Structure 1
Amino acid sequence: MTDEVIRLQGLTKLYEPTPRWMRVFARSHMTKPVKALDGVDLTVRSGEICAIVGPNGAGKTSMFRILVGLTTATGGTATVHGFDAGRDSEQVRQIVGWMPSEDRSLLMRATSKENLQLHGRLQGMPRRELTDRIGYVLETVNLTAQTESVVAGLSAGMRARLRLARALLPGPRALILDEPTGAVDPIAAHGLLTLIMDLVKQEQLAVLISSHRLEEIEALQSQALLMDRGRVKYSGDLDSLRREWERPEIEFVLADPATAHALAENLIAQGLHAVVEETSVRCRPNPNEPVGAVLSRLGPLTSDIRHVRETPMPLRDLIAQVYERGEA
């Protein structure tokens, strides 16, 4: 399709062990080949955000490094707007904005403007275009007032926005954001994510984002790619993930603790796990089982129930279930 921006097909990355004589210099403990990516397929279109989720060692960093030209793939292809990330790395870097996870990529004793000037010159941007873009991106991330401020004096949230401004400098069609909110407080993180979502809509960007804060991923209303040891566990939207894997929690509120324990014993006899907290009982029904089916098996105890609540499964538990039970 014409709106496809990022496309991975069978992407594979194999890291070979460092030769024994080099291990002291390379500080590498690898003695066997490590497959960081194992046949990953992914498509991200204009105006889409795809969250890359997985534990350490899942392959997220290797994927990002291939897309921005910091390493090459062992097999498969990675393209951005039709440009091959390995063969056409120079063109790809001109249309991909890369936001690393740490502030170490910033010059802490330089100003915001000086950081952007250096980055733009390294990318070969013409002087006049660079001057215009610096003003634009600083205004976009609400840092105009900090144009001449030294980076070391900025808050963590401001430094994160400066890294985003730097990623936006070349006018990219794709953004790759590696844990953009990892070092900022929840309020600043919310503002940064809102800014990213607005940019995606306004400029129709394709975005890959990694984050360990699953509540943020849910707030982005994004596509998701769940990875484990280089392989894809799930690829698709979060609504489909919920429809396929979710087991909501049911809470029963009863008149007194004795009745609550009696109801819990009934649920346990049905093969369900039940937890009693004073006058309430919480349990998860069997997969695809409606609340009514659970109620129908409670018999006379249903008359003692004062309230029934169904609570959606937290995204963290939902994703953990995917990893525990295998591929979706």
Structure 2
Amino acid sequence: MSAVIELSQLSKVYEPTPRWMRVFARSHLTESVRALDSVNLAVHAGEICAIVGPNGAGKTTMFRILVGLTTATGGSATVMGLDAERDSERIRQIVGWMPAEDRSLLMRATCRENLHMHGRLQGMPAKLLAERIPYALEQVNLVAQADSVVAGLSAGMKARLRLARALLPGPRALILDEPTGAVDPIAAHGLLELITELVERERLAVLISSHRLEEIEALQSHALLMDRGRVKYDGDLEDLRREWDHPELELVTADHGAAATIADDLRARGLDVAVDDLSVRCRLGGKHRVGAVLAGLGPLADSIEHVREIPMPLRDLIARVYTTGGSK
């Protein structure tokens, strides 16, 4: 099955601003910056791909290339077989783009008026808009707010309106740039559930960026970890865990003496151990597995009342990938 979104050796280099232009530019470069470095990616129908990375990783540049707001220096980017540079106008008709900020919304206009204006800017005929606007509002649960002024909406509702705008042309692909960045955790959870349902129902291909790693993990998606334009990891988060996770083992003991004795035993085996009251914790990895650790305790295991294996937080897991150079 061919990919809906495909990047092949995609590169982007921002060249220094010419001297004569620097006085007019809001910002300028004095040396070349490689924003994307030979990035390969394929996203299929019904799939969510999370783009993760610090500021300057290249996420926004990738998105801008896909929707024709900037051009690549090398390689190619296609959506439904259309070239992002040559066919940018057609791509914008089949891609739903949701920017990170509310500034693209008309605050003094209603939800319906916002969708109508943006639809006309995309070249959608009035008859099609009359059909798509109610549908898009229904998909994001904003039917009751259709004629409400945007300035009076909550941050979560504004985010859903931006999603409705992305759904307006009936896209086959969605590009979502930090869609939950301005909303509270409860509204963010609802928005992500809505996106997941849309992907399953409409068989959309989705690229999503977010700094909230717990949201990325909740999506159970394909992930692309980037750093300074380079891919550090490309694959499923579950595969990432299997490859890089060093879980923590917690042993709750019956008394303080047992905790101290078990801690000494584990340290003697080369494990990094922390003791907190009756609890003994150690980080597993390498040859150390839960079964081997417990078996090695021998009679000391009789003083253990509770055993728990704690997965490494996604933040620590991703940090480990970055600090060790990644697997790809």
Given that 1:247 and 1:288 are in contact with CA atoms closer than 8 Å, whether structure 2 keeps it comes out as no
**Alignment pair present for 1:100 and 2:99:** yes
- Superposed displacement of residue 258, structure 1: 3.0
2:50 corresponds in structure 1 to 51
Aligned residue for 1:275? 274
**CA 1:24 to 1:271, structure 2 compared with 1: closer, same or farther past 3 Å?**
farther
Identity of aligned residues (%): 73
1:207–1:288 Cα change, 3 Å: farther
- In the TM superposition, residue 40 of structure 1 has moved relative to its aligned partner by 0.4
Query: Residue 264 in 1 paired to residue 263 in 2?
Result: yes
Q: Work out whether residues 247 and 285 of structure 2, in 8 Å CA contact, stay in contact via their aligned partners in 1.
A: no
After superposition, what is the alpha-carbon deviation per residue over 1:281-318, rounded to whole angstroms, capped at 9, x for unaligned?
11111236321111233344222222211112221111
- Mapped to 2, the partners of 1:71 and 1:319 lie a distance apart of 29
Is the 8 Å Cα contact of residues 49 and 222 (structure 1) preserved in structure 2? yes
The match for 1:295 is 294
Aligned equivalent of 2:171: 172
> Matches of 1:98 and 1:255 in 2, distance apart?
57
Structure 1 position 239, deviation (Å): 1.2
Gap runs ≥5 in structure 2: none
Question: AA paired with 1:32?
Answer: E
The answer as to 2:127 corresponding to 1:141 is: no
Distance 1:140 1:306 in 2: 50
> RMSD of aligned C-alpha atoms?
1.2
The whole-number CA distance in structure 1 between the counterparts of 2:138 and 2:117 is: 18
Runs of 4+ in 1 over 4 A off after TM superposition: none
Distance 1:287 1:135 in 2: 56
Partner of 1:202, secondary structure, is helix
Q: Normalising by the residue count of structure 1, what TM-score does the alignment of the two structures yield?
A: 0.97
* Separation (CA, whole Å) in 1 of partners of 2:238 and 2:288: 18
Residue in 2 aligned with 1:61?
A: 60
User: Would the alpha carbon gap of residues 288 and 219 (structure 1) be closer, same or farther in structure 2, given more than 3 Å must change?
Assistant: farther
Amino acid at match of 1:123: Q
Q: After alignment, is 234-243 or 256-265 more displaced?
A: 256-265
What's the offset of the Cα at 1:146?
Answer: 0.8
Give the whole-Å Cα distance in 1 for the aligned partners of 2:111 and 2:258.
Answer: 64
Render the CA deviation track for 1:186-242: whole Å, top value 9, x for unaligned.
Answer: 111111111100100111000000011111111111100000110001101111111
List per-residue Cα deviations over 1:137-172 (Å, max 9, x = no partner).
Answer: 001111011111110000000000000000000000
- Structure 2 counterpart of 1:75, which letter? G
Which residue pairs with 1:126 in the alignment? 125
